[in-house]
Amino acid sequence: MERKALHKDGPIFSRIVVGAWRWNIAVETVAQLIHKALDMGMTTFDHADIYGDHSNEEIFGRVLKQDPGLRQKMEIVSKCGIKFPSAKRPESWVKHYDTSKKHIVWSAENSLKMLGTDRLDLLLIHRPDPLLDPEAVAEAFSLLRQSGKVLHFGVSNFTPSQFEMLQSYLSFPLVTNQLEISITHHSPLFDGHVDVLMKHRVAPMAWSPLGGGSLMDQHLEQIFSKAPAYQATPAQLSLAWLLRHPASIFPVIGTTKPERVAESAKATDIHLDVQDWFEMLKAVQGREMP
């Protein structure tokens, strides 16, 4: 599988990223998923402090401990900044965001501890915090960067304005904005979210790249009518549709089944014809381009 840089100064990720969002499962299954992904060339794993109610990093970390050579074969992304009421976080009594210097540094260091590693390849601010103090974020990022604990920084679910505002306070680039993008949720391709990343020469990551349950049955046939011609499944065609975009979108797949990991990997071999790309968009939108 192709590997590609999110920004000219890195990091270099596998074109399809494996999400650990749902990996609040048995350590053995996680080990199996990791190995299947690496076998397929999918070397990048996407975490967040809160996934699995703050459990998934630790489960993943147990696999890394069992096989110390594994860490060198992969890149790890994590996120911080969301707090919600949980038995594991008794100090929170309402869902809120915390992008204070203290919390960002603590959260990144805690992710390292949970994952049993000495570095994150990429740390993202999980959600745009209305109380985000860009100078505090800049200080936290700089500390983590100088100590080598986090190699690159980015954001998730930020608007173009929020991205450019925070970027203006940093002396190094935000290397991505991880957004919800799929053929059914294609608005970020048209409303400026992806444009601003292309302007800054950084690549988007796409969460929920298969569009969740929004691909309604009655549309499927029309959207994916070309699947047989590509010898592809609808899921593979959905990923190929994203991969065809010039912004270099990195889809983050979320599955707990090794066979789905393998299926996704094959999407990178599909080169969608431009007219098929537009026909799929027309089928989803119910109208052709103006």
From 52, 154, 160, 211, residue interacting with its own copies (rule: CB under 8 A) = 160
**Distance in Å from the first CA to the final CA of the chain:** 36
Per-residue binding string, its own copies, 192-231, x by CB under 8 A, is: x--xx-xx--------------------------------
Q: Which is nearer to its own copies, 139 or 279 (CB)?
A: 279
Burial (CB < 10 A; 0-12, 13-18, 19+), residue 225, is middle
From 3, 66, 113, 131, residue interacting with its own copies (rule: CB under 8 A) = 131
CA dist., res. 181 & res. 249, Å (int): 9
Q: Which is nearer to its own copies, 25 or 281 (CB)?
A: 281
C-beta separation of 17 from 46 below 8 A: yes
C-beta separation of 70 from 64 below 8 A: yes
- Compute the C-alpha angle 117/10/163, nearest 5°: 100
From 35, 71, 89, 127, residue interacting with its own copies (rule: CB under 8 A) = 127
From 86, 147, 161, 187, residue interacting with its own copies (rule: CB under 8 A) = 161
- The piece of 10-18, 141-149, 220-228, 242-250 that touches its own copies (CB under 8 A) is 242-250
> Number of C-alpha atoms within 13 angstroms, CB side, residue 210?
18
CA dist., res. 152 & res. 261, Å (int): 26
From 118, 217, 259, 288, residue interacting with its own copies (rule: CB under 8 A) = 288
277 is a site residue for its own copies (CB under 8 A): yes
Q: Which is nearer to its own copies, 43 or 208 (CB)?
A: 208
5 is a site residue for its own copies (CB under 8 A): no
Q: Is the dihedral of CA 152, 76, 131, 196 positive or negative?
A: positive
Burial (CB < 10 A; 0-12, 13-18, 19+), residue 142, is middle
- The piece of 22-30, 49-57, 189-197, 208-216 that touches its own copies (CB under 8 A) is 189-197
Q: Which is nearer to its own copies, 19 or 128 (CB)?
A: 128
C-beta separation of 193 from 178 below 8 A: no
List phi, psi (to 5°) of 243.
-65, -25
Active site residues: 51
- The piece of 25-33, 61-69, 213-221, 238-246 that touches its own copies (CB under 8 A) is 238-246
233 is a site residue for its own copies (CB under 8 A): no
Secondary structure letter of residue 204 according to DSSP: P
CA dist., res. 106 & res. 167, Å (int): 22
89 is a site residue for its own copies (CB under 8 A): no
Please report, as ranges, the residues that interact with its own copies according to CB under 8 A.
92-98, 127-128, 130-134, 136, 157, 159-162, 164-165, 168, 189-192, 195-196, 198-199, 244-246, 274-275, 277-279, 281-282, 288-290
